[in-house]
């Protein structure tokens, strides 16, 4: 079982976390967003082999954060609270 570092609570078992999608998958607003762009946002995932930047939520505290991890070795590289770019 993996250990994920919640930026607020520290390292916890992976079962306390829920995956929230690719980090940086910015939402395009508007009724006139090109349909391909909207489909990318909804469905296309990068699924990288190696370093991945992902949004996770620590369900115990309810906080979302960005985690960088290696999908091959399962090594966790960093975890940071949502700030700046993700806040309004």
Partner 1 sequence: MTASRLAAGGSAIDRSRPIRFSFDGASVDGFAGDTIASALLASDVVVVGRSFKYHRPRGIWGVGVEEPNALVDVGGPQATPNTRATTEPARDGLVAKSVNATPSALTDRNAFLDRFSRFIPAAFYYKTFMWPDWHMFEPRIRAMAGLGKVDTDWTSPGTPDQINHHCDMLVLGAGPAGLAAAKLAAGAGLSVTLVDDQPKPGGSLGHRAGEVDGKPAGVWIEETVAELAAGGHLVLPSTTAFGIYDHNLVGLNQRHLDGRPDTMWRVRPRHIVLATGAIERPLPFANNDLPGILSADAALVYLRRHAVLVGRRVVVATNNDSAYEAAAALAEAGADVTLVDIRRDGTPVAPAKVRLVKGRALASAKGRLRVEGVTLDDGSRLDADCVLVSGGWTPTIHLFGQARGKLAWSEARAAFLPGDPVDGISITGAAAGAVSLSEVFASSETAVASLGRTKAAAPRSTGVEATDGIVAAWPMPGSKGRIWIDYQNDVTVKDVELAARENFVSVEHLKRYTTLGMATDQGKTSNLPGLALMAGITGRTVPEVGTTTYRPPFTPVPLASFAGPRVGELMAPVRRLPLESVHRASGAVFQEYGGWLRPAHYGGRGADAERSIQDEAWRARQSVALFDGSTLGKIEVIGPKAAEFVDFLYYNTMSTLTPGRCRYGFMLSENGVVFDDGVLVRLDEHRFVVSCSSSHVTAVHARLEEWRQDRFGRDAVYIHNATSEMATLTVSGPNARKLLEKLELGLSLDDTDLPHMAIGHGSYAGDEVRIARVSFTGDRSYEISIRADRAEPLWAHLRQAGQAFDAVIIGLEALMILRAEKGFIVIGKDTDGTTLPHDLGSEGPRSKRQTEHVGRRSLLTEEASRSNRLQLVGLTVPSGEAPLPTGAHAIRRVDGKLKSQGFVTSSYQSPTLGRPVGLGLIERGAARHGETIEIQHLGKIRTATIAAPCAFDPAGERLNA
* Contact between 88 and partner 1 per CB under 8 A: yes
Check binding of 78 to partner 1 (CB under 8 A).
Answer: no
Per-residue burial over 34-45, b = 16 or more CB atoms within 10 Å of its CB, e = otherwise: eeeeeeeeeeee
- Asked if 57 is part of the footprint of partner 1 (rule: CB under 8 A), the reply reads yes
Give the residues lining the site for partner 1 (CB under 8 A): 1-3, 14, 18, 20, 27-31, 33, 35, 38, 41-42, 55, 57, 59, 62-64, 73-74, 82, 86-88
């Amino acid at each position: 079982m993996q250990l994920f570092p919640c930026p607020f609570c520290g390292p916890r078992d992976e079962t306390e976390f829920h995956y929230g999608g690719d980090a940086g998958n910015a939402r395009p607003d508007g009724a006139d967003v090109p349909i391909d762009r909207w489909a990318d946002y909804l469905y296309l995932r990068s699924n990288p082999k190696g370093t991945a930047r992902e949004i996770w939520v620590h369900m115990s505290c309810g906080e979302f954060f960005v985690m960088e991890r290696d999908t091959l070795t399962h090594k966790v590289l960093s975890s940071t609270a949502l700030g700046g770019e993700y806040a309004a």
